[in-house]
Amino acid sequence: MTETSSPKKQKKYRLPKRQKEVLDQLLVSIRSAPNVTARLNRKTITCLLSSTQDKLYAGVEMRKNKFSLTYRVEQDKADNSQLVHDLFREVSQGLSCAKITTGKFYTQILLDADIAKMNLLIRRLADKLEDEDLGNSLTNGTQNFLQLGTQCDQSYFDDVAQIIHFSSRENLKWPFEGSFRKTLGFDSVDRLITIGHSQLALSEKANELWREHVVPVVMIKRKVYEMAKNHAPPRVISEFLKAHLAILIITRKEADLMDRQLTESNESLRTSMPEGWDWGQDPLARIKAVGIKPHLIGGYQPHPWQGWKPTAVNSLWYWLNKPILNF
């Protein structure tokens, strides 16, 4: 009789110990960045950034002593290779070690194996994608700036303020993470918050138009979260949103112009306001700083904002209105 050989067990692939340690450190760093979800795979880390939820894969190449961040074209999904290449190029400004490579189905950026540099790159990407994504483009034809004057329900601001206040009071983090804009409907109320267009937008084709929040949404998010944590009542948050949440229709070229314009602090106007600007001042300051001439809807006036500071009365109001029991 011949002995029957038992099937050999397939060995599981294991990363070298040092590479596994570095990948674990990178995972912790990526998860610390706002608006980023990260999951550890065998050799890479899957990253979901902000509202796009497109997958990027972070990894470590020990032989080259490099960190990598890779976009892969997925089957049955739009090929965003050119957009990713442009984003990588922009967010890697000032990182001399950065190198971008492209292939038929991937776009990759390499950095020195430095946790701080990789963290900075991820944070820049998350900030940029929070304030702009493919939804800003008007190519799908669902937006039309000729319909600007349509009236919408003004209670939107009050409702959103209530959600922000409640989320802060109950320590709910999800409304302030990931797609903050989409969670609170900032991309669904264009007819309410669109205040006009640039001169060039009038003569541009629809697929070259861009919806630009006049004050970057990432800045608005940080401010309302800070106010809510300091017990600002919903009516105050509502007034703040009315004063700063607005859209101007511009061209893609004008949007690129803001990408390239830097403040004195070396920050792009894509995600920041001009140096010296403060809440309650002209919300169009960023638009005007790059020479864009806004044409506003007749009768539009910026909503006044006098500022707000927390007081003992706010804290008392907060605790008196906080539910004692949760069912």
CATH code: domain of residue 37: 3.90.1150.20
Answer yes or no: is 96 within a domain: yes
Domain count within the chain: 2
Task: State residue 317's pLDDT score.
Answer: 59
Task: State residue 67's pLDDT score.
Answer: 93
- Kindly state whether residues 171 and 314 are assigned to the same domain: yes
Distance CA 34, CA 216 (A): 16
Answer yes or no: is 3 within a domain: no
| 150, 189 Cβ separation under 8 angstroms | no
Task: State residue 8's pLDDT score.
Answer: 54
| 47, 122 Cβ separation under 8 angstroms | yes
Task: State residue 130's pLDDT score.
Answer: 58
Answer yes or no: is 307 within a domain: yes
- Kindly state whether residues 82 and 165 are assigned to the same domain: no
Answer yes or no: is 11 within a domain: no
Structural domain for 301, as ranges? 137-321
Highest mean pLDDT among 26-30, 49-53, 85-89: 85-89
3-state helix/strand/coil string of the chain: CCCCCCCCCCCCCCCCHHHHHHHHHHHHHHHCCCCEEEEECCCCEEEEEHHHCCEEEEEEECCCCEEEEEEECCCCCCCCHHHHHHHHHHHCCCCCCCEEEECCCEEEEEEECCHHHHHHHHHHHHHHHHHCCHHHECCCCCCCHHHCCCCCCCHHHHHHHHHHHHHHHCCCCHHHCCCHHHHCCCCCCHHHHEEEEECHHHHCCHHHEEEEECCCHHHHHHHHHHHHHCCCCHHHHHHHHHHHCCEEEEEHHHHHHHHHCECCCCCECCCCCCCCCCCCCCCCHHHHHCCCCEEECCCCCCCCCCCCCCCHHHHHHHHHHCCCCCC
Sequence length of the chain is 327
Tell me the mean pLDDT in the region 156-168: 85
Task: State residue 151's pLDDT score.
Answer: 42
pLDDT confidence band for 242 (50 / 70 / 90): very high
Task: State residue 139's pLDDT score.
Answer: 37
Task: State residue 146's pLDDT score.
Answer: 36
- Kindly state whether residues 285 and 312 are assigned to the same domain: yes
Task: State residue 322's pLDDT score.
Answer: 57
The residue from 131, 164, 185 where one domain ends is 131
Task: State residue 285's pLDDT score.
Answer: 95
Task: State residue 12's pLDDT score.
Answer: 55
For 290, counting Cβ atoms within 10 Å of its Cβ (0-12 exposed, 13-18 middle, 19+ buried), the class is middle
The residue from 131, 156, 176 where one domain ends is 131
Tokens matching residue 202: 């009038």
The residue from 75, 104, 131 where one domain ends is 131
Task: State residue 7's pLDDT score.
Answer: 54
- Kindly state whether residues 146 and 108 are assigned to the same domain: no
pLDDT: which is higher, 250 or 259: 250
Task: State residue 204's pLDDT score.
Answer: 82
Do strands 194-198 and 294-296 pair parallel, antiparallel, or not at all (unpaired)?
antiparallel
Percent of the chain with pLDDT over 90: 21
Q: Is the pLDDT of residue 89 over 60?
A: yes
What's the angle, vertex CA 311, arms to CA 310 and CA 312, rounded to 5? 135
Q: What is the pLDDT of the chain when averaged over all its residues?
A: 79
Task: State residue 277's pLDDT score.
Answer: 95
Q: Is the pLDDT of residue 95 over 60?
A: yes
Q: Is the pLDDT of residue 213 over 70?
A: yes
- Kindly state whether residues 203 and 124 are assigned to the same domain: no
- Kindly state whether residues 196 and 315 are assigned to the same domain: yes
Q: Is the pLDDT of residue 326 over 90?
A: no
Distance CA 55, CA 46 (A): 6
Answer yes or no: is 12 within a domain: no
pLDDT tens, position by position, 15-37? 678 788 888 888 888 877 766 77
Tell me the mean pLDDT in the region 294-320: 76
Task: State residue 101's pLDDT score.
Answer: 93
- Kindly state whether residues 44 and 83 are assigned to the same domain: yes
Q: Is the pLDDT of residue 99 over 90?
A: yes
Answer yes or no: is 5 within a domain: no
For residues 152, 155, 158, 160, the Cα torsion angle rounded to the nearest 10 degrees is -50
pLDDT: which is higher, 54 or 298: 298
Q: Is the pLDDT of residue 327 over 50?
A: no
Tell me the mean pLDDT in the region 162-166: 85
Quote the radius of gyration of the chain (alpha carbons, Å): 23
- Kindly state whether residues 278 and 316 are assigned to the same domain: yes
Do strands 66-72 and 55-61 pair parallel, antiparallel, or not at all (unpaired)?
antiparallel
Which residues are 211's β-sheet partners? Answer: 249
pLDDT confidence band for 137 (50 / 70 / 90): very low
pLDDT: which is higher, 124 or 57: 57
| 121, 99 Cβ separation under 8 angstroms | no
Answer yes or no: is 8 within a domain: no
- Kindly state whether residues 160 and 260 are assigned to the same domain: yes
Answer yes or no: is 326 within a domain: no
- Kindly state whether residues 193 and 309 are assigned to the same domain: yes
- Kindly state whether residues 148 and 260 are assigned to the same domain: yes
Q: Is the pLDDT of residue 180 over 70?
A: no
Count Cα atoms within 13 angstroms, Cβ side, for 311: 7
For 45, counting Cβ atoms within 10 Å of its Cβ (0-12 exposed, 13-18 middle, 19+ buried), the class is buried
Q: Is the pLDDT of residue 319 over 70?
A: no
pLDDT tens, position by position, 111-120? 998 888 888 8
Q: Is the pLDDT of residue 50 over 70?
A: no
- Kindly state whether residues 207 and 304 are assigned to the same domain: yes
